[in-house]
Amino acid sequence: MSTTAEETNDKSTREVVAEAGRRRTFAVISHPDAGKSTLTEALALHAAAITSAGAVHGKGERRGVTSDWMEMEQARGISITSAALRIDYADRVLNLLDTPGHADFSEDTYRVLSAVDCAVMLLDSAKGLEAQTLKLFDVCRARRMPVITFVNKWDRPGREPLELLDEIEQRIGLRPTPLNWPVGIAGDFRGLLDRASGTYTRFTRTPGGATRAIEETLTPEEAAEAEGEAWTQAVEELELLGEIGADFDVASFMAGESSPVLFGAALPNFGVSQLLRALVDLAPPPSDPVDAAGAGRPIGAPFSGQVFKMQANMDKAHRDRMAFVRVATGRFERGMVLTHAATGRPFATKYTQAVFGSERTTIETAYPGDVIALVNAAALKVGDTLYAGRKVEFPPIPSFAPEHFAVARAVDAGRYKQFQRGIAQLDAEGVVQVLTSDVRGEQAPVLAAVGPLQFDVVSHRMAEEFRAPIELAHLDYTLARHTDAASAPVANSLSGAEVLTRRSDGELLVLVHNKWRLRVIQRDHPELVLEPLLAGGVEQEE
Ligand code: G4P
C-alpha cells in the first residue's frame, strides 16, 4: 500500500524534474529603443506563439489586441510590466519575463531579474552599451547570472563588430564569445556566418517586418561565391577571434564571466532563430533553490515559489492585488491551498492566471521556472514564499540602492487614516521604500525610489485608489548607505546627511547629498559604518 504511494511520489517527482529541465526562464536587458519589444515579438513569432508580430506589446502601426489594455494602463499612469510570455520551442518552454521598458526604471525591473536564470543583453549596433543596460547588467553580475548578448539593428548603419566586442570587454569585463558573425557591414548586412558549422545564412529583407524573414542557408563555398569580399573579410575577422581565444566556453558563461554573442536584426526578424537556438542549447534550466537558512530544496520537492512582483489589478472595478510568483520547486496545481511562510496562514489559489501578452488565461498547472499570477493577493508582499508540504522560506529579494528621495504629506489632513493605509500598502507592494525618523514623524515619511517614475505611480495610486492625494517635496539627497545604531547619532549630526529607518525591515539608512559629500564624511569619520546597500554593488559609479 505504502509502496504504491511512494511509487506515485517517485513518478510525480520525476515528472517535475523533467518539466523543470525543459524550462528556460530569462529576461531581456536593454536601453529603451534598442528593440526589446520588437525582439520579444520576433522571438514569439519564430516560435509561432503568436500569429503576427505586434500582438504582444502593440507598438506603432503594429498595434494589436493589447492596445485597449495599454491605454487603460497609461490612463492610470502605470506601465504594464506584467507580461510573462511563454514560448514553446524545440521541446522547451521558454519563459520570457518582461522588464519595464521606459526610460526611467524602478525596482520592479531589478526584481524581475531575481526571478530569471539567464539574461539576454540586447544592444543597438550603432550605440553599443548604454546607461540602463549597464545598470541592469550590474544586477546580473551581482547574481553571477549567465548573459547572452544580441547585437540588434544590423540592417542599419552601425559600428564595427570588433569594436563592439571590445567595448563589452573593456567596459564591463564580460568576455565576448561570438556564436555567429555578420557578413557585410552594418547597413549593408548580407547574412550571418555560423561559427560552429561554418555555414552561411543569407539575409533577405521582408517588407514591413511583420512576417518572418526568409532564411537561406549556403555552404562556405557558395557563400564565398555569392558575397565575395564581404565574405572574405568576415572569415578573416573570425580567424582573428579564434587566435585571441574568443570561443564559447560553458564554465565561464555559466559563471557570468563570458557571454556568447549573436548578431541580427529583430525588426526584419533576422538572426532571431539563432537566438532561440542559443537559449534552448545554452541557457540553464532552473536549479535547486536555496532557502533563507542556506539549505537547498530539491526541485522535485513539493510546491514552493516566491513572489517577485506585486501589481494593482488592471481592472479598476476590482480593488485587488495580483502577485507574480516564480515556481521554485514542485508542481503547482490550481486550487491548491498553500501556506504563506511569513504568516503561516493558508493561501487558496482558486484564481490563477498565466499572463501571455494581454491575454490572461487561467492556468491549471505550472512547474519550476514558470510564472503564475495569483489574484486576491493583498496579503502577500514582494519576496514572500508560498509552499506546500515541508516549510520553506526563501531569502528576501534584495532592495536596491535608492537614488531619489521625497517627503510625502497628505494634502487633506482629514484623510490621514487613508494616507497611512495607502503608504503602508505601497510599501508592502514594494512600489517605493518608506523611511521614517522621529524628527520627521509619521505624518511625513520619506519615500525612496530607484527611479523617479516610482513617485508618479505613488501619487497616482494615493489619489485614485486610496483617495488620499499627497504632496511630494523632493529632498536633495542622491545616495543612501547602511549604518548601525552606534554610528547613527554622529552621522545624523553631520551636514548633508540624515539617518532614517526603513520601515519594511528596520534597517538604518544614512542619506547623503552626493558622493563628494560621502567621501568627505568617510575621510573625516573613518569610524562610521557606511556600507553600500547591495553587496556586490549595484550602485553606479556613473
Ligand atoms: P524598446 O522596446 O527597446 O524600447 O524598442 P522597440 O522594440 O520599440 O524598438 C525601437 C525602435 O527601433 C522602433 O522604431 C523599432 O522599429 C526599431 N527597431 C527595432 N529593432 C530593429 C532592427 O532590427 N532594425 C531596425 N532598422 N530597426 C529596429 P520606432 O520607429 O521607434 O517605432 P515603430 O513605430 O517602428 O514601432
The model's pLDDT over 291-336, given as tens digits with 9 standing for 90+, comes to 999 999 999 999 999 999 887 655 555 556 778 899 999 999 988 9
Q: Classify strands 191-194 and 200-204 as parallel, antiparallel or unpaired.
A: antiparallel
Q: Ligand 1 pocket, 35 CB below 6 A?
A: yes
CB within 8 A of 247, min separation 6: which ones? Answer: 177, 241
With the most atoms of ligand 1 within 8 angstroms of its CB, the residue from 28, 33, 192 to mutate is: 33
Domains, in order of start, for the chain: 24-87+107-282 (3.40.50.300), 304-387 (3.40.50.300), 404-539 (3.30.70.3280)
Residue 32 Cα to ligand 1 midpoint, Å, equals: 9
Q: Whose CA is nearest to atom 16 of ligand 1?
A: 267
Q: Ligand 1 pocket, 36 CB below 6 A?
A: yes
Q: What φ, ψ does residue 282 adopt, rounded to 5°?
A: -110, -35
C-alpha cell at 536: 556586490
Q: Report which residue type is found at 121.
A: M
Residue 59 Cα to ligand 1 midpoint, Å, equals: 9
User: Ligand 1: which atom is nearest the Cα of residue 209?
Assistant: 16
The closest of 360, 384, 361 to 304, measured between CA atoms, is: 384
Instruction: For the full predicted model, state whether its pTM sits above 0.85.
Output: no
CB within 8 A of 93, min separation 6: which ones? Answer: 22, 23, 24, 86, 87, 369, 370
* Tens of pLDDT, residue by residue, the chain (542 residues): 444 666 667 888 999 999 999 999 999 999 888 998 889 888 877 765 544 444 444 444 333 333 333 443 343 333 333 457 888 888 899 999 877 655 555 677 778 899 999 999 999 999 999 988 888 898 899 889 999 999 999 989 889 999 999 999 999 999 999 999 999 887 788 999 999 999 999 987 765 544 556 778 999 999 999 999 999 999 999 999 888 888 999 999 999 999 999 999 998 888 998 999 999 999 999 999 999 999 999 999 999 999 998 876 555 555 567 788 999 999 999 889 999 999 999 998 876 665 544 455 567 789 999 988 887 787 888 899 999 999 999 998 877 788 999 999 999 999 999 999 999 988 887 889 999 999 999 999 999 998 887 898 899 889 988 999 999 999 999 999 999 999 999 999 999 899 999 998 888 999 999 999 999 999 999 999 999 886 333 444 33
Please tell me the distance from the alpha carbon of residue 216 to that of residue 222, in angstroms, as a whole number: 11
Q: How many residues does the chain have?
A: 542
- Rg, the chain, Cα only: 25
The model's pLDDT over 49-101, given as tens digits with 9 standing for 90+, comes to 544 444 444 444 333 333 333 443 343 333 333 457 888 888 899 999 877 65
User: Ligand 1: which atom is nearest the Cα of residue 32?
Assistant: 4
The four Cα atoms 221, 227, 233, 234 give a dihedral, to 10 degrees, of -70
